[in-house]
Structure formats: C-alpha cells, structure tokens
Amino acid sequence: MSKKIKHKSAVGQPPGTLTYIGEKKNTKVKISLIDYTEAYYKEKVIKDIRECYELTEKPSVSWINIDGVHDTQIVKTLGMYFRLHPLMLEDIVDTGQRPKVDFYEENIFVVLQMLTFNEQTKKIDTEQVSLILGQNFLLSFQEDKTGDVFEGIRERLRKKSKGSKLRNSGADYLFYLLIDTIVDHYFLVLEGVGEELEALEANIIHDQTPRDFTKQIYEKKRQLSQVKKSALPLRETVARLIREEEKFFSANNFYLRDLYDHTIQVLDTTESYIDVCSNLMDLFLSFIGNKTNDVMKILTIFSTIFLPLTFIAGVYGMNFKYMPELESHYGYFMTWVLMISVAVGAVLYFKKQKWL
C-alpha cells in the first residue's frame, strides 16, 4: 500500500483538467532533446519550453525527454505545440495511472510503470513513464524519482556505426526500444526478489528460520503483487500494440512479438514466485506445528515420569502414626526400586510410541 490511490484530489474535477497527482516536489523539471536522422545527430538540454515549437515541423526524429511531471504548465505547453488530446495530458500528470495504450488519430499514447529494485532498501521503486509517439517525434515523461534508465539508448544513438538499426529507423523503433528497456528492468526486479526468496528458502531448509520469517514472506508477496499489478496491464498494452501495429509501425512485427514474449515471461515468473511464497508459508506453518508438537512431547514425557514419582515420595512423607512400610528396614530401598520401575516403564512406553 506504499503507493496510494492518487485520485482523491482530482475527484469532481472536469475530465481533462491538468492536476498533478503524486509526491510534492519543488525541483526544476529537466527537459532534454535528441534530434537525429541517419546522418545527423544533435543532443541538448532545453531551458525554455518554447524551443520545442520548431521541432514539430522538422523531418528528423525528435526525442524530447521530460524528467518530472509536477510542472503542469510545461506539459500543457507541449500539449499545445504537438496538438495532444487533453485526456492524454491529464493522464501524464496523474502518476497513479494503470498501464495502458490509447490510440489517438495522430499519436500512440502509452503509460507504463517503470520498476527498479533498490539493492540497499530491498524495496521496489515505481515510477510512471508516459510515451507519446507521433509522426516524427517521441515524447517521454518520467517522474524524476529514480535515476534515468534510458542512458543506454542514448549511448547507442550517439554512435553512428554503419548499419545501426536505431539511427536508420524512425521514431517507432525508438518507441519500441524504450518500452523494451522498461520491460528488461522488470527482469532485474524479479531477479532481486528471487535472490531473497532463495535466501529465505535456504533458511527454512536448514532450519534457521528467523523470527520475522512470516513478515519477510509477507513483504515479498506484497512486492510480487506490485510487480503483477504493473505487468498485467503492460502485457495487454503490448498485445494491443501488436494488434494495431500495421497502422502505426513501419517495421515488421518481430520486435513487438519478442517484447510480448518477454512480458509473458515476466508474468510467468511473477506467478511462480508468488506460488513459491505460498509454499514457503505452508512449509513454515507445518514446521511451527511440528515444533509445538515436539515441545508438547517433552512436557508430557517429563510430567508423565515425575508426577507419579513425586506422588510416591509424597505418600511416604505422610505423618500417619501407623504406616507399616516406614518401619521396615528395606522400605526406603523398596521405594526406590518402585520409583525406578515406574520411571523405566514410562521411558519404555515412550520409546514404543517413538517419542524418544
């Protein structure tokens, strides 16, 4: 529940109103531009949003990356320049969106959840990424929480190696690559969770379950359901992209299908990890049951042996005037024989019951 439903403040607003919904922020929004064709490459940081206006008409592929969506004015201005539907803009600044794709007449609009596994805190950070694909431009909006994950793609764009598919292709291939990078990060997250599950499993197999074992399992389950909640609509999104691809994508569909296979693999792995959690929990519960049973047995064995002995000792501690056994020379000795017999008998009984 770390990520709340963020709709509250927007309830009652007319649809299409730009209201930023998310953590409060005062940082300045960073806008970077990459403009390229096969032959040409330019990269710069944009200070004034108005610089973007001229880009809308250029034939080169323009990739504008906006880090931070809390400044709704910037989003609004970009929306005006690139003639974006108001509902699109509303979704960009509402960081509690469900992943989805919308097909507008001139654009494809994709909202995704980018997950990153924080190695220190062992938590999953979520960040909403919105992508808008137009004729020869691509807008990407990030939440400015975790670092930038598209640096690898920028590296590849800078290299003008002969036959680079990326520089030769249009904005649609870049669009595909960004989504692919995000999906790849899901694997890293699952790997992080998987390693911790393996550690927990090793714990329980070697009978060294920590006291907060169930809390840890609970925590992992929560993280996995977080991954699932993001990955399920992600799969739908990619599936819809494939169905509609002919209209928008110039390249053939093998890349999108590959992407789709990866989203399914993410879901498969998530599901199987959730199963592992449940099975570990069952294992733990049966261990608790077993241990309680063992503790009970020890208690019962001790009680069953010593209660009769103490009784016998109590009997001969009585102060009756007439107790013939007390007078006998062998009384004390015989009593020990009796007590030892009782104890041995109890031990033999428990041996037979396989309790010892």
> Distance from first CA to last CA of the chain, Å, rounded?
48
What contacts 24+ positions apart, CB below 8 Å, involve 332-339?
338/312, 339/309, 339/312, 339/313
How many residues does the structure list for the chain?
356
From 30-38, 70-78, 118-126, 295-303, span contacting a second copy (CB under 8 A): 295-303
- Dig out the tokens for 31 from the structure: 């806008």
Residue 233 and residue 238: Cα distance in Å, rounded?
Answer: 9
29 binds a second copy (CB under 8 A): no
Specify the residue, 250 or 300, whose C-beta has the smaller distance to a second copy. 300
User: For the window 298-327, what string marks contact with a second copy as x by the rule CB under 8 A?
Assistant: xxx-xxx-xxxxxx-xxxxxxxxxxx-xxx
Q: Determine the longest span between alpha carbons in the chain, in angstroms.
A: 121
From 32-40, 45-53, 123-131, 277-285, span contacting a second copy (CB under 8 A): 277-285
Beta bridge partners, 10, equal: none
Residue 155 and residue 177: Cα distance in Å, rounded?
Answer: 13
162 binds a second copy (CB under 8 A): no
CA atoms within 13 A on the CB side of 29: 22
DSSP 221-256: HHHHHHHHHHHHHHHHHHHHHHHHHHHH--S-THHH
347 binds a second copy (CB under 8 A): no
Q: Which residues contact 76 (CB under 8 A, 6 or more apart)?
A: 18, 89
CB of 55 to a second copy, least distance (A): 25
User: For the window 51-90, what string marks contact with a second copy as x by the rule CB under 8 A?
Assistant: ----------------------------------x-x---
166 binds a second copy (CB under 8 A): yes
- Dig out the tokens for 173 from the structure: 């291939």
Q: Which residue is it, tokens 């699952």?
A: 190
Residue 115 and residue 324: Cα distance in Å, rounded?
Answer: 86
CB of 286 to a second copy, least distance (A): 4
Q: Which of 11, 39, 57, 120 binds a second copy (CB under 8 A)?
A: 11
- By CB under 8 A, the count of residues binding a second copy is 106
CB of 77 to a second copy, least distance (A): 18
225 binds a second copy (CB under 8 A): yes
240 binds a second copy (CB under 8 A): no
39 binds a second copy (CB under 8 A): no
CB of 294 to a second copy, least distance (A): 9
Q: Which of 73, 168, 290, 341 binds a second copy (CB under 8 A)?
A: 290
From 13-21, 26-34, 120-128, 136-144, span contacting a second copy (CB under 8 A): 13-21
Residue type, 13: Q
From 29-37, 39-47, 118-126, 194-202, span contacting a second copy (CB under 8 A): 194-202
Strand 61-67 relative to strand 137-142: parallel, antiparallel, unpaired? Answer: parallel
Specify the residue, 55 or 111, whose C-beta has the smaller distance to a second copy. 111
Query: 302 in helix, strand or coil?
Result: helix
CB of 291 to a second copy, least distance (A): 6
Specify the residue, 27 or 279, whose C-beta has the smaller distance to a second copy. 279
Report the site for a second copy in 245-264 (rule: CB under 8 A).
254-255, 257-258, 261, 264
Q: Are 234 and 113 in contact (CB under 8 A)?
A: yes
Q: Which of 27, 73, 118, 286 binds a second copy (CB under 8 A)?
A: 286
